[in-house]
Amino acid sequence: MKRILQTLLFLLIVISCRKEDSSSPKPDTGNPGFISAVDISAYPEISLTNPAFYNSDGHPKDFLALLKENGVNTIRLRLWVNPGDEHSGFKEVKQFSQILKNTGFKVWITLHYSDTWADPENQETPLAWQGLDFNTLRDSVSNYTQKVITEINPDYVQIGNEINSGMLHPHGDIATHPQDFLSLVEAGCDAVRQNSNTCKIILHFAGMEHSDWFFNQVKTIDYDIIGLSYYPIWHGKSLNDLENTMYRLSESHHKQIVIAETAYPFTLAWNDWTDNIVGLEEQLILPEYPATPEGQRKFVQKIKTLVQGVEKGIGWCYWGAELIAWKGNQSTDASPWENQALFDFNNTALPVLAEFKE
Of 131, 118, 48, which Cα lies nearest the Cα of 83? 118
Which CATH number is 154's domain given? Answer: 3.20.20.80
Contact 274, 332 (CB under 8 A): yes
Instruction: Tell me the pLDDT band of 32, cut-offs 50, 70 and 90.
Output: low
Q: Look at phi and psi of residue 205 and say left if phi exceeds 0, alpha if psi is from -120 to 50, else beta.
A: beta
Using one digit for the tens of pLDDT, what is the confidence trace for 44-80? Answer: 999 999 999 999 999 999 999 999 999 999 999 999 9
- Parent domain of 344: 32-356
| H-assigned helices in 90-238 | 90-103, 134-151, 178-195, 211-217, 232-235
pLDDT tens digits for range 132-184: 999 999 999 999 999 999 999 999 999 999 999 999 999 999 999 999 999 99
Average pLDDT score, the chain = 92
Residue 144 lies in a domain: yes
The answer as to whether 23 is a domain residue is no
Let me know if residue 14 belongs to a domain.
Answer: no
Question: Which neighbouring-strand residues pair with 124?
Answer: 169
Q: What is the mean pLDDT of residues 187-205?
A: 98
- Checking if the pLDDT of 11 tops 90, the result is no
On the question of pLDDT at 3 being above 90, the answer is no
Separation between Cα atoms, residue 63 and residue 41, nearest integer Å:
13
Whether 20 maps to a domain, the answer reads no
Q: Is residue 138 part of a domain?
A: yes
In a domain, 11, yes or no: no
**Is residue 132 domain-resident?**
yes
In a domain, 256, yes or no: yes
The domain tally of the chain equals: 1
